[in-house]
Amino acid sequence: MDRDIGGIRCSEVLARLGDVLEGDLLEADRARITTHVAGCVECRRFGVRYADLVAALRTSDVPPAVAAALDARLRVR
Ligand SMILES: [Zn+2]
């Protein structure tokens, strides 16, 4: 389960998750991880707490388009 989604692999997403939640990431990296988690069922199954991730992202300066995409995904679920 090491799929490349949004330009980043599962292993990289999981390795950086702590940084995401602490807001300690470059904007480009955060955008890639956000896209990956939104599109990767495997990462969510693996234990990514998606709601926490979204909450963390919302508290930082997420581009409105990204936030809207995440909202849409959550509503679909
Ligand atoms: Zn993944």
Strand partners, 4: 9
Residues 6+ apart with CB under 8 A from 77: none
The token duo for 23 is 């807001």
Distance 47 CA to ligand 1 centre (A): 11
Distance 34 CA to ligand 1 centre (A): 10
- Give residue 9's pLDDT: 94
- The structural domain count of the chain equals 1
What is the average pLDDT score of the chain?
77
Residue 25 banded pLDDT, cuts 50, 70, 90: confident
- In this structure, what DSSP letter does residue 60 have? S
Give yes or no for residue 55 having a pLDDT over 90: no
Q: What is the mean pLDDT of residues 52-68?
A: 67
Distance 60 CA to ligand 1 centre (A): 22
Range of the domain at 49: 4-76
Residue 4 banded pLDDT, cuts 50, 70, 90: very high
- Give residue 7's pLDDT: 92
